[in-house]
Structure 1
Amino acid sequence: MVSQESLDLTETYLDLRPDGTVAEVQVTESFWQDLASGAIRIDGRMVMATRMFADMQHWEMHPAGDEILMLMSGRAIVVLEEPEGEREIEVAEGGTAIVPRGRWHRIKVVEPGRMLFMTAGAGTEHKPLDGT
């Protein structure tokens, strides 16, 4: 059951399940490791927010679906890895970028702020910036 109280999406993520229900996902220190190992499962789309202070130090890719990135405050650049090279989408406060399914991407912070993510998280992959 979902809380009837106000939630901070930086501390409690949401799983928008295929059956139309919403489940709270508690964020622990091992959350990302547990998600990668399968100890935590997100059946639908994960909705979360984070405070962005620094550039992402890796690339990520979501094979299960497109990702929606909404910048609530600050300024950022979403970098997409395209066949012809990197493409940058500058996002200002209140702006949204859509990352296509299966596209490697990362975020560079221009001005610190908060970003909301809506991600089909199943099978998410990461790779280092240098591509190795």
Structure 2
Amino acid sequence: MTTTPIDLFASALRFHPDGGVRAAERQMKGSDPDGAWQVATFHVETDADVHADHWEMHPEADEAVCCLTGGVRLAFRPTSPGGSEDVVRLAAGTAVVVPRGRWHRLELDAPSDLMSITLRHGTLLEKR
């Protein structure tokens, strides 16, 4: 087996149930028949880079959202009509776990490097 570095800003790491780990193209949503978890790293400059105008939800797993550099705000959609968004601020070196099935979105405080870890299967996006 040849071991070579993987550019985490160009590829995702896919952790498969059989214990295998492979580099692959990043998926924002879709299905993975193998049930692989994705670790994806992104450099983002603007709110458009984090689809701030969309809510996202992962029905099959929690998601760890990690702020490696910069700063972001992670907003949770209100759980009842007329409710307000819950917002968590992430500074460099911090993370939050988004519960499975919880609608959420990101907004930037500064250009940032982010890492997302989740099972992408069934991920939904909805215009805000």
Q: TM-score, normalised by structure 2?
A: 0.84
Answer yes or no: is 1:67 the counterpart of 2:59.
no
| Cα offset, 1:26, TM superposition | 2.9
Identity of aligned residues (%): 28
Alpha-carbon RMSD: 1.9
1:1-132 equivalent positions in 2, closer than 5 A: 4-27=3-26, 32=28, 36=30, 38=31, 43-55=35-47, 56-83=52-79, 84-129=83-128
Listed one character per residue, the Cα deviations across residues 18-71 of structure 1 (whole Å, up to 9, x for unaligned) are 1211122135xxx65xx53x5x65622111011121222211100010000111
Q: Aligned to 2:8, what secondary structure does the other structure show?
A: coil
Q: Aligned to 2:3, what secondary structure does the other structure show?
A: coil
Q: Aligned to 2:86, what secondary structure does the other structure show?
A: strand
- Report how many aligned residue pairs link the two structures: 121
Tell me, yes or no, if the aligned pair for 1:14 and 1:23 is still in contact at 8 Å: yes
Report the CA distance shift for 1:110/1:119 in structure 2 as closer, same or farther (over 3 A): same
Tell me, yes or no, if the aligned pair for 1:15 and 1:43 is still in contact at 8 Å: no
Return the alpha-carbon distance in structure 2 between the equivalents of residues 41 and 78 of structure 1. 29
Kindly indicate whether structure 1 or structure 2 has the higher relative contact order, using CA contacts under 8 Å at least 6 residues apart. Answer: 2
Return 5+ residue gaps in structure 2 as ranges: none
- Aligned structure 1 segments of 4 or more residues deviating by more than 4 angstroms: none
Return 5+ residue gaps in structure 1 as ranges: none
Return the alpha-carbon distance in structure 2 between the equivalents of residues 42 and 48 of structure 1. 17
Tell me, yes or no, if the aligned pair for 1:48 and 1:117 is still in contact at 8 Å: yes
